[in-house]
Amino acid sequence: MRPMRHSLTALLLAVAPLAAGAQGLSDAALAAIPQFVSIKIGTGTAAKTVTQFSMPLIAVVPITSRFNIDIATAFANSDVSSNGASVSSISGLTDTQVRANLTLGTDAVVFTVGANIPTGQYTIPEGQAEAAGQIGNDFLIFPTSSYGSGLSGTGGIAMARSMGNWNLGVAGSFRKSTEFDAFAISNKKFTFTPADEVRARVGLDRMIGNGRLTLGVTFSSFGNDVADSTSYATGNRYIGQAALYLPLGTTDLYVSGWTLYRAKGQQLGGSSNAETVANGSVALGFHVGNLLIEPSVEGRSWQDDGIKAGLLGNAGLRLRFGAGPFTIIPSAMYQAGTLYSTLDGSAMDLSGYRASLMIRLH
């Protein structure tokens, strides 16, 4: 249930630069980002297809030059089908995230207070359970990975300073969650209380010629989740990220990668294995007047307790251009790969595509 919160946060970061130099309400930024994903798992009559249409809606409102509020929610429809017939589907609003940011000094200290407001769907019935479960995957990465995670509050602080040619940033936050009804099985409701989370991040960046190198490490530690009357714990998460941007005349080169490691934890009925997801991508940006054309290739691997669990290759194209007060960014990607059984090594084909359209008003 956690990844949905993180995906909306990533979209907020994509919109926030529009308000970076804003002075007041007239400089508010709005974005609508419709996304569609279709992934087919397996072949023949045993194959299933997981599709999702997601429409995140985001607003960044600068109250003053140092205080802003951002709001994010989404509508999503997720479906699992087999042999052309739907077998499980879930549709509706997700939770709403509201966050206030106060900047002190010369952008060196930022205080953040946020809330996750439970506007999403809760108490998932049995017929929707497969669709809700399929989208919560760190390897396939659906735009909306959960419809609701309960009322919670977050507080955090971030600081930055220059150290020679490098800029150093450190941040920490704490999230407190509350209980909610999560599932309905045979007319009985089961409650769920997400674990409290402590997160720390360290980031470095520096100029390289006219380009920039960015490095970051994030650590998340969780308490115990409680499902009905059973307590269990997800493993701590470590995320490493690196990105290099280099302008090459009229062409831009982007090289990036990230690795997610989730340590061993406990789940209902036993332990959960440690897992690692690693991703690398290369993109070239070609400037043609007002138009940016950016083809890319990407590779991803997944290991479960050190055993190969999945490989995925992506080829995509992104465009960016301005139209009056709008910035329009359409993109499309084809995906192909394999999922492997960690018991006997047997393989299932994986294929699909993604499309999105970001429209920003600024």
**What is 17-38 written as a DSSP string?**
GGGTT--SGGG-EEEE--EEEE
Can you give the pLDDT at residue 107?
65
Closest CA to 320 of 281, 282, 355, 294: 294
C-alpha to C-alpha distance for 351 and 335, rounded to whole angstroms: 5
| pLDDT tens per residue, range 87-119 | 999 999 999 999 999 998 776 899 999 999 989
| pLDDT tens per residue, range 138-174 | 899 999 988 888 889 999 999 999 999 999 999 999 9
C-alpha to C-alpha distance for 174 and 224, rounded to whole angstroms: 15
Can you give the pLDDT at residue 360?
84
Other CB atoms closer than 10 Å to residue 286's CB: what's the count?
Answer: 12
β-pair type (48-62, 29-32): antiparallel
Instruction: Find where tokens 């009925």 sit.
Output: 269
Cβ pair 194, 152 in contact under 8 A: yes
C-alpha to C-alpha distance for 184 and 13, rounded to whole angstroms: 35
pLDDT range class, residue 230, cuts 50, 70, 90: low
Judged against a pLDDT cut of 50, whether residue 82 lies above it is answered with yes
Of residues 17 and 130, the one with the higher pLDDT is: 130
Top-confidence range, 80-89, 94-103, 311-320: 311-320
Summarize the confidence of residues 272-290 as an average pLDDT. Answer: 94
3-state SS, residue 39? strand
C-alpha to C-alpha distance for 306 and 304, rounded to whole angstroms: 5
| pLDDT tens per residue, range 232-280 | 667 899 999 999 999 998 899 999 999 999 998 877 666 788 999 999 9
Judged against a pLDDT cut of 80, whether residue 17 lies above it is answered with no
pLDDT range class, residue 186, cuts 50, 70, 90: low
| pLDDT tens per residue, range 47-65 | 999 999 999 999 988 888 8
Burial class of residue 211, CB neighbours in 10 A (0-12, 13-18, 19+): middle
Tell whether pTM > 0.75. yes
Of residues 85 and 361, the one with the higher pLDDT is: 85
Other CB atoms closer than 10 Å to residue 203's CB: what's the count?
Answer: 17
H/E stretch holding 13 reads: helix 3-15
Cβ pair 109, 76 in contact under 8 A: no
pLDDT range class, residue 45, cuts 50, 70, 90: confident
Can you give the pLDDT at residue 185?
66
Can you give the pLDDT at residue 18?
45
Residue 115 one-letter amino acid: A
How far from the centroid of its chain's Cα atoms is residue 137's Cα? 11
Can you give the pLDDT at residue 4?
39
Looking at the chain, the number of H-run helices and the number of E-run strands are 2, 25
pLDDT range class, residue 226, cuts 50, 70, 90: confident
- What is the chain's mean pLDDT, rounded? 87
C-alpha to C-alpha distance for 328 and 5, rounded to whole angstroms: 24
Cβ pair 292, 329 in contact under 8 A: no
